[in-house]
């Protein structure tokens, strides 16, 4: 039955296929854009080109920790669609796009009063290893930054309100499939980092996100 349901779902997606309009306001950079100039058919669900649709690889996960993604605007149109994949996979995820403190004003207000059970995943000189956090299982909100190292650093620098929240890095990051692409030692993709952090916090398996990462890489993204 599950297989049948999935098949029907696929048909629905195909029936709804549309062509993303070309947005000529996007700068022509060397990075891969989600909106290339050519007219390609896209899956309306995962937003990948139809021939590399990842919907079959998405495993819904009922996470109890609220995931908040601070997404740098330059990531919004990136072909990897990380945030979209997180939204399709996780039951509790909120996305805020921006760079400056003003962009995240609503979040700042929220965290002025409730910081104790929040964790920011961002490595810096004062961050602590998440694996050794004594109250790790009390964390109910995890903040991650989606962007290149440079863009994530910019968000960190421009948002001092984040500095008042407990921040963490990984001491024993798992092997990454992403590393060879990132060409940076110990680097995890946002999907992998989220999976590892949530698995530590909730003491359960978030392997579905890693599998999705692998599926995405296999399809060249």
Q: Which stretch binds Zn ion (CB under 5 A): 37-45, 124-132, 142-150, 209-217?
A: 37-45
Binding mask 53-72 for Zn ion (x = CB under 5 A): x-x-----------------
**Token digits for 105?**
């004003």
According to the binding rule CB under 5 A, does residue 45 interact with Zn ion? yes
Which C-beta is closer to Zn ion: that of 49 or that of 147? 49
Find out whether 81 and 34 touch, Cβ atoms under 8 Å. Answer: yes
Nearest distance, CB of residue 212 and Zn ion, angstroms: 11
Q: Does 214 bind Zn ion (CB under 5 A)?
A: no
46 binds Zn ion (CB under 5 A): yes
Residue holding tokens 């700068």?
27
Instruction: Give least dist CB 56 to Zn ion, A.
Output: 8
Q: Which long-range contacts (CB under 8 A, 24 or more apart) does 32-39 make?
A: 32/78, 32/79, 32/221, 33/77, 33/78, 33/79, 34/77, 34/78, 34/79, 34/81, 35/77
Considering the complex, what minimum distance in angstroms separates the CB of residue 217 from Zn ion?
A: 16
What is the nearest approach in angstroms of Zn ion to the Cβ of residue 53?
Answer: 3
Q: Is residue 131 within 8 Å of 171, Cβ to Cβ?
A: yes
DSSP annotation of 185 reads T
Site residues (vs Zn ion, CB under 5 A)? 43, 45-46, 53, 55
């Amino acid at each position: 039955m599950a297989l049948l349901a999935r098949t029907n779902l696929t048909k629905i997606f195909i029936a709804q296929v549309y062509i993303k309009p070309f947005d000529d306001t996007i700068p022509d950079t060397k990075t891969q854009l989600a909106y290339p100039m050519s007219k390609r058919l896209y899956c309306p669900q995962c937003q990948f080109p139809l021939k590399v649709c990842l919907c079959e690889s998405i495993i819904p996960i009922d996470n109890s920790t609220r995931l908040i993604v601070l997404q740098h605007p330059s990531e919004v149109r990136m072909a990897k669609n990380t945030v979209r994949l997180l939204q399709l996979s996780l039951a509790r995820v909120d996305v805020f796009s921006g760079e400056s403190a003003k962009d995240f004003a609503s979040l700042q207000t929220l965290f002025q009063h409730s910081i104790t059970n929040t964790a920011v995943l961002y490595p810096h000189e004062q961050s602590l290893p998440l694996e050794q956090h004594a109250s790790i299982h009390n964390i109910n909100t995890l903040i991650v930054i989606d962007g290149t190292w440079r863009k994530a650093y910019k968000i960190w620098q421009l948002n001092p309100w984040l500095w008042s929240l407990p921040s963490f890095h990984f001491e024993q990051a798992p092997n990454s499939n992403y590393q060879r692409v990132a060409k940076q030692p110990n680097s995890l993709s946002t999907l992998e980092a989220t999976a590892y952090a949530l698995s530590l916090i909730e003491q359960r398996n978030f392997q579905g996100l890693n599998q999705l990462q692998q599926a995405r890489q296999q399809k060249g993204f």
